[in-house]
Amino acid sequence: MTTAIYSHPDCQRHDMGDWHPESPARLQAIADQLIGSHINDLLEHREAPLVDITDLERNHSRNAIGIVRDNVPEEGDTYPIDGDTSLNAWSWRAAQRAAGAAVAATDAVIDGEIDNAFCSIRPPGHHARPKEPMGFCLFNNVAIAAKHALEVRGLQRVAIVDFDVHHGNGTEEAILNEPRVLMVSFFQHPLYPYTEPLPITDHLVNVPVPAHTKGDVVRKIVTEQWLPALHAFKPEMLFISAGFDAHREDDIGGMGLVEADYAWMTQQVMEIARLYAHGRIVSCLEGGYNLSALGRSVVAHVKALADL
């Protein structure tokens, strides 16, 4: 297996303040754990390019793009988008790199240059709605990549797997009327963004769970609800919104997952990819705010992707 890590120093320059849990230290924690686990040298490291604006426009309105691009403050200042989300002088650039990583990884996987990829990027994306940023997220990296796979690369069916503790409301909104995309997820409910769960359909299997849910319950959801939907849909490529804030050590949520659960979920997704998608997977970092748990969980996820 050839697994690539996509990242860029610009992604660490986006900074919403020392108080903010979505901090530049998250990417450093991941990098440190990849080195400490002795798998870093077994991975291919690629630099995230700047996204093409046309890729952003497939998922976001011009106004949503303008909110980020046109409000970048001077060095040392911040621009508030909402109570949880703000811009600094590097935010536009970082958001371009994050979305660019997802698109570039998609192309590289489809072209057979690599088997799969993990994008160690920020800002995250799955709360970003088509018409506005929200919830730490500026652009929806996974939705942008999925639409690139469909509209530019000509795939007919793609799936998005979201295991962040929060509901990926922006992703759900982006694909709600798109039958070529299947989205499967679990999410703690009630919890930010406080959206009400939608009925399960042939291309939407987003399952709410209560606080304190542990890995055994999540594995049952994957086995009994995600996997049958994925087998029926037969995606030609899979995208993962890889949030690690459902970990038992992460105080932003209240769930009880551990590293082994993330490895197991990744292995299930990989088996679907082997059966229907030539192994094609692109995973993008979403949440995960306890730095130690985040780094360890990413290592478990990437080891599974790389079959190590």
Query: What's the number of CA atoms in the CB half-sphere (13 Å) around residue 227?
Result: 17
Predicted pLDDT of residue 233: 98
Model-level pTM greater than 0.85? yes
137-171 pLDDT, tens digit per residue, is 999 999 999 999 999 999 999 999 999 999 999 99
User: Per-residue confidence at 212, pLDDT binned at 50, 70, 90?
Assistant: very high
| pLDDT computed for residue 283 by the predictor | 99
pLDDT tens for 47-95 read 999 999 999 999 999 999 999 999 999 999 999 999 999 999 999 999 9
- Phi, psi (5° rounding) for residue 255? -100, -175
Q: Which of 8, 14, 126, 127 is catalytic?
A: 127
- Look up 127 and say whether it is catalytic: yes
Which residues neighbour 247 within 8 Å (Cβ) at sequence distance 6 or greater? 255, 257, 258, 259, 288, 290, 293, 294, 297
The CA-based diameter of the chain, rounded to the nearest angstrom, is 51
Q: Residue 1: what pLDDT?
A: 76
Mean pLDDT for the chain overall: 98
- Tell me the average pLDDT across 260-284: 98
Q: How confident is the model at residue 174 (pLDDT cuts 50, 70, 90)?
A: very high
Predicted confidence at residue 164, as pLDDT, reads: 99
Q: How confident is the model at residue 274 (pLDDT cuts 50, 70, 90)?
A: very high
Instruction: Give me the mean pLDDT over the 27-55 stretch.
Output: 98
Query: Does residue 238 contact residue 162 with C-beta atoms inside 8 Å?
Result: no
Per-residue HEC secondary structure of the chain comes to: CCEEEEECCHHHHCCCCCCCCCCCHHHHHHHHHHHHCCCHHHCEEEECCCCCHHHHHCCCCHHHHHHHHCCCCCCCCCEEEECCEEECCCHHHHHHHHHHHHHHHHHHHHCCCCCEEEECCCCCCCCCECCECECCECCCHHHHHHHHHHHCCCCCCEEEEECCCCCCHHHHHHHCCCCCEEEEEEEECCCCCCCCCCCCECCEEEEEECCCCEHHHHHHHHHHHHHHHHHHHCCCCEEEEECCCCECCCCCCCCEECHHHHHHHHHHHHHHHHHHCCCCEEEEECCCCCHHHHHHHHHHHHHHHCCC
